[in-house]
């Protein structure tokens, strides 16, 4: 039996970046799933808001200052995030290492401020339905920030190891940068929801 070769793919690279990478598509699917989780939590919040005669229930409106500081920190972090993605695309190991150190700090700072944000909600998670849904939404976003920070720290450790100068790892850095944009962009409507709706 004769075999006919349709195309010789041996010259193709083993790993791609951007939309030519399976990891990129996985990250995109992950963001879509998590985005739906945020949408469901926001839907619950708005549903409870529509039923309540007074909102927030049994609590003063949350203090917007800690959440506002987090918003500013997250927006500022998009600059080094953009740079580290560009450096990863160019496979500039020295700059990628510097960028990942900066992004690790940029990811930890909002998490530190978030320690003060939960008490600034002025309601406990078990006080009532309002408290539960507010803590749920804020907790979900905190979990996403923590996930990306942990990923960034792991990538930083890898890039400082002998395995760092590897085409696949540069693609991982780009995908991590993409996910951080998701973390930043989801915070903006959540901030408006948690701190704006109670003041309507």
What are the pLDDT digits (tens) for 12-56? 555 566 666 778 788 889 899 999 999 999 999 999 999 988 899
DSSP code for 127: T
Residue 195 lies in a domain: yes
Supply the pLDDT for residue 3: 73
How many helices and strands in the chain, by DSSP H and E?
5, 0
For the segment 63-68, the average pLDDT, to the nearest whole number, is: 96
How many structural domains are present in the chain?
Answer: 1
Place of tokens 């792991």: 154
Tokens describing residue 121 = 């909600």
Contact status, residue 92 vs residue 126, Cβ threshold 8 Å = no
Contact status, residue 104 vs residue 156, Cβ threshold 8 Å = yes
Residue 6 lies in a domain: no
Longest CA–CA separation in the chain, Å = 80
Residue 58 lies in a domain: no
Supply the pLDDT for residue 167: 76
Residue 173 lies in a domain: yes
The CATH number covering residue 190 comes to: 1.20.120.80
C-alpha distances (whole Å) from 172 to each of 60, 103, 118, 154, 155 are: 43, 14, 32, 11, 8
Residue 11 lies in a domain: no
Residue 142 lies in a domain: yes
Residue 78 lies in a domain: yes
Residue 86 lies in a domain: yes
Domain range spanning residue 182?
21-53+65-199
Tokens describing residue 27 = 């990250």
What are the pLDDT digits (tens) for 123-176? 999 999 999 999 999 999 999 999 999 999 999 999 998 877 777 788 889 999
CB-based contacts of 81: which residues, under 8 Å, 6+ apart?
Answer: 103, 106, 177, 180, 181
Report residue 66's pLDDT band, with 50, 70 and 90 as the boundaries: very high
């Amino acid at each position: 039996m004769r075999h006919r070769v349709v195309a010789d793919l041996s010259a193709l690279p083993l790993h791609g970046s951007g939309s030519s990478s399976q990891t990129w598509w996985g990250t995109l699917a992950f963001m879509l799933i998590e985005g739906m989780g945020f949408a469901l939590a926001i839907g619950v919040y708005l549903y409870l808001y529509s039923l309540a005669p007074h909102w927030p229930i049994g609590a003063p409106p949350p203090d917007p200052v800690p959440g506002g500081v987090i918003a500013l920190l997250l927006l500022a972090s998009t600059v080094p995030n953009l740079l580290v993605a560009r450096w990863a695309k160019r496979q500039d190991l020295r700059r990628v290492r510097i960028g990942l150190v900066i992004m690790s700090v940029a990811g930890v700072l909002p998490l530190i401020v978030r320690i003060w944000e939960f008490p600034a909600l002025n309601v406990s998670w078990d006080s009532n339905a309002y408290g539960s849904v507010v803590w749920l939404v804020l907790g979900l976003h905190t979990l996403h920030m923590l996930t990306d920070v942990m990923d960034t720290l792991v990538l930083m450790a890898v890039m400082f190891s002998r395995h760092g100068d590897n085409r696949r790892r540069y693609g991982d850095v780009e995908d991590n940068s993409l996910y951080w944009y998701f973390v930043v962009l989801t915070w903006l409507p959540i901030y408006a929801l948690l701190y704006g709706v109670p003041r309507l």
